[in-house]
Chain A
Amino acid sequence: MLKITPDLIVLCGLVTGAVDVRSISPDQWVNLVQLARVHGLAPLLIRVLKQSGINLQDDPIWQSLVQYMYQNMARAAMLEKSFQDLIAILYKAQILSIWLKGAALATTVYGDWSLRPMSDLDVLVPYERRDEALRVVQQHSYDFNHSEQNLFGAQESLSAHNHHYQLIGGAGGNAYLELHYWLLGRDHSHLLPLDGLNWFLDQTETVDRYGYPLLILKPEAHFLYLCAHALLQHSEDDFYALRFLDLHELVKHYRLDWEIIVKKAVELKWTYAVKRALKITVQLYATQIPETVLKDLMSSENDESSTRYAMMLSGKGSRGERLWSDIQQIKWKNLPAFVYRVLFPSRIYMKHRYQIPSHNPVFPYYFYRWFDQARQVFWMVLERTRYSMRHSMRTKHPQSDWNSR
């Protein structure tokens, strides 16, 4: 369920400059700092605080923020270095590579990688060249990332119906890379048919950075993708305010052609996702959009499959639910590889996931992993059971709930 609290609205106002730092009482800061960290807004909050003349080293209230700041800057340094290397690697291999989300936005809209936190780098390559691109990056230190979010580590078994390869490598061996060959995952050909994907591949522009041509989506295409990513990939159930700040910043930074956005949203059957993403963005950041845009989107809305999909996700988009749906798609022949990866993920992943000091042996940590996985499965089953019990008692159609929001 979407959780937009009054404190979150205040925080969003702080980072956009709509709320004055001096209007915040000392008691409020504890929660605001916590929220800023959870929602990826801490770097911008730090910038606002500094601009207001607050010395973060002076007061213990900012201690966690300072710690976060250094951690985030270190991560940004590592990711940007990996990004620079990847641009060169893919350019030399002559593989069309379009940078998405954090990497593209940090470079163009935010202006500094430390201001736009990200956990990974996202790049889109043509579907038919995905394995070639995979081989190229594998030759440059990247390996499959066998993480939890990635079905306990068995993505090779799922690549046929997934939308990206999740890899780890690069600077220090710790950069996560999502090598996309489709823009949306889960039921991707339904939510974004091939024609639609090809349209995105055509909607690119080149930015001159890092000594190589850097390809990113045009602002309108990026805007559409980010709306779909927020609502159809992650859902409101998995709410993260930074995703909507990205939309706000795109609107602020570019003179978007709203006609193209509405027209394409209709063609892609994404009107619901775009409308909903815009409403949330406006609610959080008081983003200025032309009045007609929402009206146009609503008048074009029909019984889209993506609407139903977004609603379904918002109600039952739990991690366990999605995980189970993915596991069901594994073919029998891939099951042994899946089980093996669940039990024995790579050493590099183990070191990262369990923060194993470089001088410690990895093997003993596998025992902890098995315990940890069993515990997570238990909680997921419990979550699913609770969900089923709660919803079996509901008599209303989900649509009636949705419209009341």
Chain B
Amino acid sequence: MKFSQLQPKIPEHALFRELGGEAVLLNLKTEQYFGLDEVGTRMWVLLSQSPTVQVVFETLLEEYDVEAPQLTQDLEELLERLIKGGLLELQASS
């Protein structure tokens, strides 16, 4: 999986808000927001807490009834969108 050994980092201009399982991410610099459904919200919460993307992947694989290739695709897709939207940075893990 791409990014697996990288560490997720949330930039200061990204605001997160959750209500009733769904969430929104707001980029204060661009004023763009990004809606997350329940699974997306869980992914984000794990990204904000985990030392590497690989840990996020493994946790999700345990929590959800999903095949590894499908999860890889979904997680990579989300990561790319978040990075493109300036809502997440990936850095080499220390």
Residues of A within 8 A of B (CB): 46-47, 50, 57, 66, 69-71, 73-74, 76-78, 80-81, 112-115, 171-172, 174, 358
Contacts and interface: CB of A to CB of B under 8 A. Distances in A.
27 contacts: A50-B20, A57-B37, A69-B35, A70-B24, A70-B33, A71-B33, A73-B17, A73-B22, A73-B24, A74-B15, A74-B17, A74-B24, A74-B26, A74-B33, A76-B17, A77-B16, A77-B17, A77-B26, A80-B17, A112-B19, A115-B19, A171-B28, A172-B28, A172-B29, A174-B31, A358-B30, A358-B31
Contacts of B26: 74, 77-78, 172
A328 to B, nearest CB: 37
Given A50-B21, A70-B35, 5 more contacts: A47-B20, A71-B33, A73-B22, A77-B16, A172-B31
Contact of B15 (A46, A57, A77): A77
B23 interface: yes
A81 B24 CA distance: 14
Interface in B28-86: 28-31, 33, 35, 37
A379 to B, nearest CB: 29
B17 A114 contact: yes
Nearest to A170: B28
B19 A114 contact: yes
Task: Tell which of A47, A57, A74 has the most Cβ of chain B within 10 Å.
Answer: A74
B75 to A, nearest CB: 19
B19 A171 contact: no
A57 B21 CA distance: 13
A81 B15 contact: yes
Contacts of A50: 20-21
Contacts of B13: 172
